[in-house]
Amino acid sequence: MSPSRPASTHSRTARPSRPALEQGRIFEASPVGLIVTDASGRIELSNPAAEAMLTDGKQSGGEHSLAALLKACDAYGLWLKCERLIRGEASQFRGEHLLQRGERGALWVQAEARRLDGDAAQLVLQLTDIDRLKTAEEALIYTEQRWNSALESARQGVWDYDQRKDRMFYSRMWRRLRGMDDDEEIGENHHSEWLSRIHPDDLEHLQSVERKQGQGEIGHDTLEYRERTRDGDYIWILSRGGPIEWGEDGEVLRSVGTDTDITALKTIEHALAAEKERLRVTLESIADGMISTDAEGRITFMNAAAESLTGLAATSAIGRPVAEVFCLRSERSGEAIDCPVDTCFRQQKPVRIDDDGVLIGWDGAQRDIRCTAAPVLTQDGTLEGAVLVFQDVTQSRDLQRQLTHSATHDALTGLSNRTAFEQALGRTIAAARSDREACLIYVDLDHFKPVNDSAGHAAGDALLRQIAKTIRETCRTHDTVARIGGDEFAVILEACPPEAGRRVAEAIVRAIGALVFSWAGRDYRVGASAGLTRIGGDPASPLGFVGEADAACYAAKAAGRGRVVAFMDMIDPT
């Protein structure tokens, strides 16, 4: 755009006055766009700021019509207002308009125009760039919408109380929390109506704290209470808020806050409180030891059960390092175990010792212990100390050992039972596949039934115990000796070649044959027959290893009893 300029009435030698020059520079340098037209809308004056706002940067000039310029920017609404001024239907206007400028993009402007009447009517149009302001306004609207959405998603209602006008604003979610319609009118008696909905048990406390909250007293910016909804149920409300405007004399003029439905949290809180009480009663009724320490591992508290288990009075223990009072060693290895409190400090997590800890008391007593040590951390993760809880499980571990032994041993003889024998055989077979040769001996007593029938079952049981002891003493300590039937025994010889296995089997047969069993003044003798087989990668026959040893034992009985037969000799007599 090439704005028109008034023709000079001076000669070439005439020079404009200094005020005129200053006004011209101001007009040219002003960031506000200025346009002056005649009564027909023809542009008489315009500054660079107006040119920058109204053109797309490609026009090369010659356009003197305000109507054409504004229409080229799709600013028809602005032109219609200017046209009214040109026709004399209005004297001035002000408003915001959006200019479309092609590749330069859209621009928001604040337009102000005034009609100047006189000998020659003129129109003065002022354009102010408000694009950044509109962008900020849109961002503010977006932010407000986002926060409103977030508040409603969190079921938080907003209230705003103007004490100067005694006017209360409630948000849509505030109404929804209470079962009201979104557009329901809140009357002038809003406060008394609100109090009428408060649970009777909360009313006195609420009125006391409400006043302090309204005055902005420190520590009273939150308030919890129960309020009845339209359906008659009570919900828990957490109200946060306080003053945001004060008068000159310090009186509160306006308060703002939010109400949150915390019914679900309160339900959980009450359930946890009840659970905590049940836990407290439970802990008081059990004999668990408990020790608390500071961040350096020094004892700060020890209950009576802990005194009894450690053998040290609390008065003597407090202030000591917990590792001095709570001393553990391993049941399996006999070596000292690191104090669980020190371990939980290093790992920053709870530490448990379930089945290997033995507590060495200051009184010399030793007790099987199960314990848990947990670090105590503040909300910001700072270590404050630890809590050690431990129980005397000596009796339960003894019972566990007995049950474990009973599950794997014969009740009469104390030897391994058939289940333990089969497990040991499985391990031996697996090892044999890695070239670890072993032998299996199957022993069946000879002439045992006459003793059992003539002397009675008690005598038979006593004889079986004596024979079991004899077999056990004949074998190595790491060999598996099992009773697998009434008067049948089996022996697994680890890492033993067949020649050595035969010698062990013969020794067992001789030892049993040499026994003289005395019962009720009478002596009895029994014998034994034994079958031997080699345990290798695979059985030598479809009978399996146990079947081979049993077959060899049967052959020993058939050959006259009191002897050993090897299955290898049966399939290869040479």
Number of residues written out for the chain: 574
CA pair distance 506, 489, nearest whole angstrom: 14
Q: Where are the alpha helices (DSSP H) in 445-563?
A: 448-455, 457-474, 498-513, 544-558
Residue 327, judged by CB atoms within 10 A of its CB (0-12, 13-18, 19+), counts as: middle
- CA nearest neighbour of 441 among 502, 376, 497: 502
Q: Report the catalytic residues.
A: 487
* 477 CB neighbour count, 10 Å cutoff: 6
* 49 CB neighbour count, 10 Å cutoff: 21
In contact, 524 and 463? CB cutoff 8 Å? yes
CA pair distance 398, 241, nearest whole angstrom: 63
Q: Which pair of structure tokens corresponds to residue 519?
A: 């019962």
Per 3-state DSSP, the chain is made up of helix, strand and coil in percentages (nearest 5) of 40, 30, 30
Q: Which pair of structure tokens corresponds to residue 21?
A: 């020059």
- What is the three-class DSSP state of 43? strand
In contact, 354 and 369? CB cutoff 8 Å? no
- What is the β-pairing status of strands 167-170 and 156-162? antiparallel
